Structure 1
Amino acid sequence: MILSHGTNGLMPFDDFPAWGQVPVHAITKFSSSLFVIVFGIALAVAFVPKTTAPDWPQRRNRLLWRGLVVLFWYKVLTVVEMYGRHDTGAIVDTLLYRDFPSFVEILGFYAIALLWIPWLLPLWAKTPAWLRWLSPVPVAFASWWLLHHFDFWGVPQLQALIVEHPDYYTWGQLARGPLILVGLLIGGVLLQAYREPRTRWALAGVLALVSAALFAWFLIRAGELRPLLVDIARNTGKHPPQLMFMLFSTGGAFALLALAVAGGEWLAKWLRPIAVIGSDALMAFIVHISVIFLLLRETLGLYQSVTYERALLLTALLLAATATWIWLWGAMKRALKRSSDSEVQRK
């Protein structure tokens, strides 16, 4: 995601060299499905097992509060993205959901999801396993049917928020719902399998096979490959989700998941900067969007004035800076907590 934003935030896609379009920018499309699946995995691992605990209402409320925090930062970063290149009226329209941003819109999806999904997690925990495994299918069908047969009372923005709309770059709750459910399913298996090396490797193998099957399906239907990959790199078929984009994006997402599950803590150690960025996704989003739009574009005036190679270099520096900031932020919070605990013990 940061690679995509760091390059496309500094120069238009038409200025990318051929190798920057394919494979570099095309590969970044794996993140769009990976993030939603990982969202479901996190819910399954950290919250679903707690739905029967006495303190579940408190845990649910923390998730709801997190949704409000994400919503706050979504609005703030919308202004950051649009400031300097859009008039006040356009910014206000976007803040009021009459329009949508592009770079930060994924935060809007998470914010809304965190306000309704926590209420359904206890029901998910009680649902029979066979019904859970079938659940992505009816949700995908419902999203498709509503997209093609319901006009949402003539409110395209409402359609965009639920099943997406071709005129708005936004993430629909129901359109991406199947990926959340897939993440919940994977997370449930991961919770049981992770500590046993054999079962973890078996899960990684299954994820790799699913990835291979999705890519095979993609290649069978692809025809002339490079023009299709260029279209995918340009987000053709992303909103609303279309088959070829989703086959490519989810195929890559499953491949990365297989690698992460197989590599486990060893891989996290060797890819420490990426692991640090992933440890606080919201902070990573705040930092990299702020640096791109406030520092690189507005303060330094680098928009459309750099080569693609320089944009890649700046993006690499941005990744390092984001990881460093998150590490320092975490270290500061840990130090404050230790100080607070010591004070409590003295009293």
Structure 2
Amino acid sequence: VIMTGGLGPTKDDLTKQTLARYFGTNMVFREDVWAHIVKLFESFGRKPVERNKFQAEVPENCEVLFNHKGTAPGMLFRHNGRRIVSLPGVPYEMKGIIKNELLPLLQDEIDYQIKHKTLFVVGVPESVLADQIEPYEGDFSENIKLAYLPKPGLVRLRLTARGKRADDLHSDLEAAAKVLKEAVGDPLMDGSNSAIEKYLGEVLTQKGLTVGTAESCTGGGIGATLVSVSGSSAYFEGSIVAYSYDIKETLLGVDHKTIVEKGAVSEEVVRQMSEGARAKLKVDFAVAVSGIAGPDGGTPDKPVGTSWIAIAGPTRTITEKFVFGKVRERNIQKTIFAALNLLLKEVEDYG
């Protein structure tokens, strides 16, 4: 049993006292916990106040799980063959204790393991994927479960394997991934359990390649997604947000006549945007997008949700048209993921 919250220094934080009463034990002041709190405050250039001493008081029968990101320790109780865990309610503190304290302890005690493998598909609705995959699910090992994790423009497919420590779960997961590949085909991408932007960054880093963006309808969202990954400075050079015709022409070298004749949301314009960005930013790959996010601006030929995406690379420039939906925020997010997916495919195929 894992519970969270109520471990702070204020009067309404009653979890520790409640657990002490439940287990029929006393509250005790732990010098090692207090020393840990003092050291944590010192690392912030501060001193703890008297009230913080309450956080060094814990039920006598608990095992302390030290919190390296905050002042409230976690606690592990063993009772009638069961484990009861109390953790801080602050999410990043709770996750830190689980990762650094609780899981290593449990892994030493329990002959059980869980492993995951995550793949993803961009631009295919969850319902369509389910129809494609369902006939093949009988080919999975009995210890494999599949979860669909959708977000605008992208569906992650998470395979989970459970077994004893001696079991070769990696082979089971790889076999299940092959089944998914057979069911879905080329749209299935191996995310190596990472978000697409992180996996793309890993591939760019491995190949020593650089990337930049030229963005209209996404307003810098592709660049922001790329730089959300730690270490992205190794491969990301910059973005040009070219929302107006003038910026497309002056910064990216898009031909004025092309914009007038074909429209800003067109294959010809987005191709020139990507090639102009690649030259301007001096990168190996440049991704460019131009679209009608909505809710206004659509026409019969170019309805709301239309997006053109181009990837300019060392050997070629590719373009692809997408028509998403009518909700502005979702169209922007779908365009970002579609662009990252196209870029990833081009980077993986290069070299």
TM-score range, shorter chain: under 0.3
Q: Per chain length, whose mean CA-contact separation is higher, i.e. which structure has more relative contact order (CA < 8 Å, sep 6+)?
A: 1
Q: Which has the higher helix share?
A: 1
TM-score between the two structures when normalised by the length of structure 1 = 0.20
TM-score between the two structures when normalised by the length of structure 2 = 0.20
Instruction: Pick the structure with greater CA Rg.
Output: 2
